[in-house]
Amino acid sequence: MTDSVHDETEGGRPHRLPHRWPTLVAIVLVVATFVDGVPPVGLLAGLLGVMPVCYLFFGGFRGGLRAFRVLAVQLAGLAGFTAVAALALAADGTLGLRVVAVGWLAHGIWDILHHRSGRVVPRAWSEWCAVVDVGGALAILTLA
């Protein structure tokens, strides 16, 4: 039996594109954000600090934080990503951008783990966020 979401075909071609809208939207956002160069480290670090807060809001709204272990992991993520953001702000110039890029890349991995588990946030969100984070990190490292 085939999975209708991922294996639908027409003439032997998969119909995956409609299911990848979060990826497509994320790519557009990354290009629009970095087309004129790298934004200031303060903005990038601020976004890194806000990313885990979004997960807490989603998790609270969806009831995904009721288990103490899940809440503890999300709070640890908030503390860790906020610490990386603060370190990036404390560093000078290119080093600060590299630190924030590593934080964004780490958050991309965080997103992928959430996408695989299907918990805390909707999968469309974690897919979108993973592409934004990894794409943004690569853009920062390439352009900085």
Q: How many CB atoms lie within 10 A of CB 34?
A: 17
The pLDDT tens digits for 52-100 are: 999 999 999 999 999 999 999 999 999 999 999 999 999 999 999 999 9
Window from 20-24, 72-76, 92-96, 109-113 with minimum mean pLDDT: 20-24
Residue 8: the pLDDT is 46
Instruction: Output the pLDDT for position 17.
Output: 56
Alpha carbon of residue 133 to chain centroid: 4
- Contact at 8 Å (CB) between 140 and 93? no
Question: In this structure, what are the phi and psi dihedrals at residue 9, rounded to the nearest 5 degrees?
Answer: -135, 155
Predicted local confidence at residue 80, as pLDDT: 98
DSSP-derived secondary structure for 75-128 = HHHHHHHHHHHHHHHHS-HHHHHHHHHHHHHHHHHHHHHHHHHT-SS-HHHHHH
